[in-house]
Structure 1
Amino acid sequence: MAGSRGAPPEHWRLAPRLVGMLWLGVACASLLCLLRCCGSEGTQSFGLSRAEAPLGEGQYGGTEAMGDADGRMMVRRRRRRKKRSAGDGEDADADGSAEEKDWRAARRLPHALIIGVKKGGTRALLEFLRLHPDVRALGSEPHFFDRHYARGLTWYRSMMPKALDGQIVMEKTPRYFVAAETPARVHAMSRDVKLIVVVRDPVTRAISDYTQIASKTPGIASFESLAFKNRSLGLVDSLWSPLYIGLYAQHLERWLAYFPLSQIHFVNGERLISDPAFELGRVQDFLGLERIITDKHFYFNKTKGFPCLKKAEGSAEPHCLGKTKGRTHVCVEPEVIRSLRLFYHPHNLRFYQMTGMDFEWK
C-alpha cells in the first residue's frame, strides 16, 4: 500500500515531454513563416529593380554596368514596347536602333590626330571629315599634348565624343606639330595612332598667320620688321613663330623618331582649296574609310575664294567656314617675299625628300 502511494501517476510523467514538443512545434512554425515572408519581399524587390528601373538609370549606371546579354535584352524589350505603342513598326524600329547605338557608344582615346599646321587648312579638313558617318571628331582644340598633359589620359578621353566600335575618333590641334615634347607623349598614348599634317607654301602660310595675329593685336609691328633680325643684311628671324612653323623638315624629323612615315599623311593645303574632293579621297584611304565624301559635297564660294559644304554635318543647309577663313592677307613687300622664298628653299627641298612628295612651292 505504501509502495503504491509513492509511485506518480502515468500522465504526470508524460506532461514534460508534451510541453517540450509543443514549444518546439511553435518555434518551427514561426521560423518557417519568417523565412517565407523575407523570401517573398526579396523576390519582389529584385523583380522591381530589374523590370521597372528605366534604361540607363540605377545604382550602377544602368546598362553600362550590366552584362552584355542583360543590356541587349532590355534594349530589345523597349524596342518591342515602342513598336506596340507607336503602331508603326518601321519608325519604332528606327528609334530602337538609335537607342541601341547610343547604348553601345563610348568615349575612346583618338585613333587619329590632325597635328598641324596652323593656317594650313586644318579646320577645313576637320569640318569636311565630319561629314563621314564613320568619323567622330572633337570640334574644339583640346591642346592636351602641349598644354594640358598633366591632366592625364582620363581627362583627355572624357573630352572625346562618344563613338561606336568601328568609328574613328579624332581631334585636331595644329600646335602639336611644332611642340618639341608632343611626339613622345603621343607615342606613349598609342604607337598605332595615325597622324595627319596639312601643309602649304611656308611663305604664304606665314603671311596668313601674321594676318590673323594682326587682327587681334592692334599696333603690332609690320610683317617686314618682325621677319628679320637684320633686314639690311638679310638675316631672317627663323625663331619668329610665323616663320618657325614653316620649317616643316625640322619638325617632321622629331616625329619620325617615334613614328614611321607610313603612319603620317600629308595633305596639300593648296589643293585642299582647289580640289577638296581629291584630298579628302586620299585622307579617307589613309584612315581606312570608304570613300563617301566626294565632289558632290562641295561648292566653291567665289567671294571667300574657298570651298564650302553643300550640307553641313547634321544639317540640310549649306555651310562655309567662319569669317576668319579666306581672309584677305596683309600686303608684304615683294622684296621681302623673295628673301623668304630663298630662305625656305633648302628647307623645302629637304621636306620633299623626307616625304617623297613634291609640293611645287616656289
Structure 2
Amino acid sequence: MKAVKRSALSVSRTTGRFTSGARILPSFLVAGAQRCGTTSLYRALAQHPLLLKPVLHKGVHYFDAGYQRGLSWYRGHFPLRVGAALLARRHGTGPLAFESSPYYLFHPLAGERIAADLPGVKLIVLVRDPVERACSAHSHELARGFETESNFEYAVELETGRLAGAEESLRARPYSAHHSHRHHAYLARGRYAEQLDRLEPLFGRDRILVLDSHRFFAEPEQAYDRVLEFLGVPRLGCPEFERHNGRPRPKPLPDSVRRSLRDHFEVYDSRLVRWLGGDPSWRR
C-alpha cells in the first residue's frame, strides 16, 4: 500500500511540474509555529470553497527544506488556473491558494525566500504557551523517531549544544539541512518574538496575522472569522473545527522546571503583546 501511495505521489508531482505554468501560487501561508494548531487551522480553512489547498499534502516545505528544487516544482503542487477561474465566476471573487509548513517560521532563510518569490503574500502564525509547546514537540519528535533522549528536561539541557552554529551553517550552505535545528529546538522555537521580528521587515506588520492558539481552540469561530477578514475573503458556509495531530500529554513537569521555563520565556512572551493586541492567554 505504501509503495502504491509513493508511486501515485511521484506521478502527481511529475504532472504538476510539467503543468506548473498553468498553476497558481499561494496568496497566503500558515507559517508556524510547530505544535501550535497549524494542522487544525489548515483543515478548517481547506473547507472554504475559495481557499485552495495543495494538491498533494498540507505542507510543501519548499522554502525551508526543498528550495533547491526550483519554483516550477513548487508551483506544481497547487491547483490549475482554469479551475480557479471557474471558482471566481461562480463566487464573484478569485480564490486563494495556500499551504501550511510550520518550519517556515523558524528556518533562518525561509522568510527571505518567501518574500522574494511570493511578493504580496500574507502569513498566518499561531502561538501557544511555549512551555506546553516544548513538551508537545519533544513527545512529537520522540514518536517520529527524530529524538533519542526520552527525558524532556535532559533534552532541553542538550539543546544549546545541539543547535550551536546551526543558523550559521544553514546560511553558509543554503540548500543544506540541520537535523537538530529542525527537530530539537524545543525552547528556541517557542521564542516567537525573535522569529516575528525577523519577518516584520520583510513583509510588514499588516501582512502578518498572529493568533493565540489557545483562543483559537476555545473560540474557533471568532479566530476563523479573523482569518477570513485578514485575507479579504467572504464567509461561505460553516466549517467543522476539530483538533488534529494531538498527542497524549506527557507526564507533568516538576513545578521547579515549569517555573524555570516560564521565567525563561517571560521576556519573549511580553513582546507578543503588540502582535496579539493584549497579553498571551497563558500569561493571564
Q: TM over 0.5: same fold?
A: yes
2-side partners of 1:264 and 1:143: how far apart? 19
The alpha-carbon distance between structure 1 residues 259 and 289, as it changes in their structure 2 partners (threshold 3 A), is: same
**What is aligned with 2:3?**
none
1-side partners of 2:53 and 2:226: how far apart? 18
CA RMSD after TM alignment: 2.5
The alpha-carbon distance between structure 1 residues 293 and 123, as it changes in their structure 2 partners (threshold 3 A), is: farther
The alpha-carbon distance between structure 1 residues 293 and 347, as it changes in their structure 2 partners (threshold 3 A), is: farther
Q: Does 1:244 find its partner at 2:165?
A: no
Which structure's relative contact order is higher, taking Cα pairs within 8 Å and 6+ residues apart?
2
- Contact 2:64 2:104 survives alignment (8 Å): yes
Q: Does 1:325 find its partner at 2:246?
A: yes
Bigger CA drift: 344-353 or 261-270?
344-353
**What is aligned with 1:46?**
none
Task: Give the 3-state SS of the residue equivalent to 1:265 in structure 2.
Answer: strand
**What is aligned with 2:223?**
279
**What is aligned with 2:108?**
180
**What is aligned with 1:349?**
270
Q: Does 1:164 find its partner at 2:60?
A: no
Q: CA deviation at 1:140?
A: 2.8
Q: What code does the residue aligned with 1:175 have? A: Y
- Contact 1:224 1:333 survives alignment (8 Å): no
Q: CA deviation at 1:252?
A: 0.8
**What is aligned with 1:63?**
none
Q: Does 1:147 find its partner at 2:65?
A: yes
Percent same amino acid at aligned positions?
30
Residues 109-258 of structure 1: matches in 2 within 5 Å? 109-138=25-54, 139-162=57-80, 163-165=83-85, 166-217=94-145, 220-228=149-157, 240-258=184-202
Q: What code does the residue aligned with 2:38 have? A: T
2-side partners of 1:237 and 1:276: how far apart? 37
Q: CA deviation at 1:292?
A: 2.8
2-side partners of 1:353 and 1:236: how far apart? 32
- Contact 2:35 2:137 survives alignment (8 Å): yes
Q: CA deviation at 1:174?
A: 0.2
2-side partners of 1:278 and 1:147: how far apart? 33
Residues 292-303 of structure 1: matches in 2 within 5 Å? 292-294=236-238, 297-298=239-240
The alpha-carbon distance between structure 1 residues 238 and 337, as it changes in their structure 2 partners (threshold 3 A), is: farther
1-side partners of 2:233 and 2:260: how far apart? 42
- Contact 1:249 1:347 survives alignment (8 Å): yes
2-side partners of 1:270 and 1:219: how far apart? 29
The alpha-carbon distance between structure 1 residues 237 and 224, as it changes in their structure 2 partners (threshold 3 A), is: farther
Q: CA deviation at 1:325?
A: 1.7
Higher Rg: 1
Task: Give the 3-state SS of the residue equivalent to 2:25 in structure 1.
Answer: coil
Task: Give the 3-state SS of the residue equivalent to 2:123 in structure 1.
Answer: strand
**What is aligned with 1:337?**
258
2-side partners of 1:236 and 1:330: how far apart? 25
Bigger CA drift: 155-164 or 351-360?
351-360
